[in-house]
């Protein structure tokens, strides 16, 4: 999933891939106006449509969310005027814990919740 995000090419600020059990959002925010960024899963039921949202402020009501503060602005490539040189940020949500099952153990352990990450 991480590699897919790195290879994505697009001309707009955001692009996303959303299925019933996972979401990938890749964004390249403009550092000159970056004031923070929040990614949230606003609706999810296994096998149903997954809904995500992106906004500038932290979420108050979301099933899962992450907020990147304004202080990260200096890491986004502000020295570049070309938007293609700005840093990409990936948000990932996996709604299928079985993707992370450990099958080499006799008890077949698996993750007990959804996984949410950013890079």
Tell me which residue range forms the domain holding 67: 2-118
Q: What pTM does this model have?
A: 0.68
Q: How many domains are contained in the chain? A: 1
The pLDDT profile of the chain, 119 residues, written as one tens digit per residue, is 555 555 566 556 677 777 777 788 888 888 888 899 998 888 877 777 788 888 999 999 988 888 989 998 887 776 666 666 677 788 887 776 555 555 565 665 554 555 655 66
pLDDT of residue 42: 86
**Residue 65: closest CA among 46, 44, 96, 47:** 44
pLDDT of residue 111: 47
């Amino acid at each position: 999933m991480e590699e897919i995000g790195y290879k994505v090419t697009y001309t707009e600020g955001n692009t996303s891939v959303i299925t019933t059990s996972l979401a990938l959002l890749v964004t390249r925010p403009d550092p000159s106006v970056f004031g923070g960024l929040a990614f949230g899963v606003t609706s999810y039921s296994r096998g149903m449509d997954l809904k995500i949202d992106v906004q500038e402020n932290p979420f108050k009501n979301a099933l899962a969310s992450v907020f990147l503060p304004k202080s990260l602005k200096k890491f986004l490539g502000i020295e570049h005027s070309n938007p293609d040189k700005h840093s990409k940020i990936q948000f990932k949500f996996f709604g299928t814990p079985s993707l992370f099952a450990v099958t080499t153990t006799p008890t077949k352990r698996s993750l007990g919740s959804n996984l949410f990450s950013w890079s």
